[in-house]
Structure 1
Amino acid sequence: MPDEAVRRELDKPIARELLRTAPLARIAYHGPDGFPRVVPVGFHWDGTHVVICTVPTAAKVAALRADERVALTIDTATEPPRALLLRGTARIEVVDGVPDEYLMANRKTGDPARWRVFEQQVRDLYDRMAKIRVTPVWA
């Protein structure tokens, strides 16, 4: 659970809007070779955590198991630019099937008329997924 100062930042209108509507975040973490990585990811904000879902064999899963510290940027390409910068810790849980958070993240950009087809396709594709829950510790 984010502390009170972080909650105040996340409760600002721009932060709430970005967490609710931005299609992508950029997650930064330390790779196994010690060099930083930045990867665009779909995400879902559950009110406490930024949730990112991926295949359990993804390089970021192994890296985050070794070092849970992450940074996230959620921003726009509009004028004026808007950005939310977060630092936090990641916890990973491998789950059977496709997590609801994965589907909710994809609904931010997908065509509503194709949601049902998309959901069936991903359920047919993935037996298991890794849920990465990032708890913000700074915003």
Structure 2
Amino acid sequence: MADLNHQEVQKILQSTGFAHLATLGPNGEPQSSPMWFMWDGEHLKFTHMPNRKKYQNIKRDPRVSVSITDVDNPYSYAEFRGVVTRIEDDLQGQFFDTLAERYGSPLRHTGEPRVILYVQVQRVAAVVQGGYTQVLVAQPELNVYQAFGSLAEQQKGGISVVQEVKTAEALTLVFKTSSPLSANLVEDIRQTSGVLSITANLDGKPQESGIGQ
């Protein structure tokens, strides 16, 4: 529900926070490591070594998840899900040196084989920031992202998914908005087919609405 043009997302992408790059192991187990990164406007770029387990994971399954925390506010972060679409040799280690300079590290390339990983972002899965917390409970088959497209438009992209939990009985979605939801909008959401309840504006004055009220 957030996107790459969101102000907070762009701030994180331009930062020197460490990116936790998660890949899938041969048995489907997650493997995550903190890494230097650079955003080139189209891809998240990483330096890596072809003899490492993470590289072998990517060659087998290019799907990855990247989590980056805002260096100025550890309670604000973005998670990016996508695929490694390109791997380039970095024989002279130039990109490694570029990242080292970017992060203020004295380390420099010492001749080991290196590659550049290009991650194409397919979804910004979560951004947590200051704002207003909303909790929506709906029937599990409801496509909330499609149902509340007008809400995203009204908030001008200022919507961030914090947590999404789906069971056989219900879907619970916790998200933040850049501005409080109006009473009319809360009522419109409550009237949407498949919505069981909504608790709005938890960081301000709570405004609750749900079936049975």
Note the alpha carbon deviations across 1:44-100, whole angstroms, 9 max, x for none: 111100000012211111110000000111113654611111100013222311133
2:78 maps to a residue whose letter is: L
Is 1:126 aligned with 2:106? no
Among the aligned pairs, what percent are the same residue?
Answer: 23
1:106 is paired with a residue whose SS is helix
How many corresponding residue pairs? 123
TM-score (normalised: structure 1) = 0.76
Is 1:138 aligned with 2:123? yes
Higher Cα radius of gyration: 2
Provide the aligned C-alpha RMSD in A: 2.2
Aligned counterpart in structure 2 of residue 105 of structure 1, from 84, 92, 99:
99
**Runs (5+) with no aligned partner, structure 1:** none
1:96 is paired with a residue whose SS is coil
* Cα distance in structure 2, aligned partners of 1:23 and 1:108: 11
Residue 103 of structure 1 and its aligned partner are, at CA, apart by 3.1
Query: Is contact 1:29–1:63 with CA below 8 Å preserved after alignment?
Result: yes
Q: Going by fraction, where is helix more abundant, 1 or 2?
A: 1
Residue 127 of structure 1 and its aligned partner are, at CA, apart by 4.7
Q: Going by fraction, where is strand more abundant, 1 or 2?
A: 2
TM-score (normalised: structure 2) = 0.52
2:32 maps to a residue whose letter is: V
Matching residue of 1:94: 89
Which stretches of structure 1, 4 residues or more, deviate above 6 A after TM superposition? Answer: none
Query: Is contact 1:53–1:99 with CA below 8 Å preserved after alignment?
Result: no
Structure of greater relative contact order (alpha carbons < 8 Å, 6+ residues apart): 1
| Pair 1:14–1:106, CA change in 2 (3 A) | farther
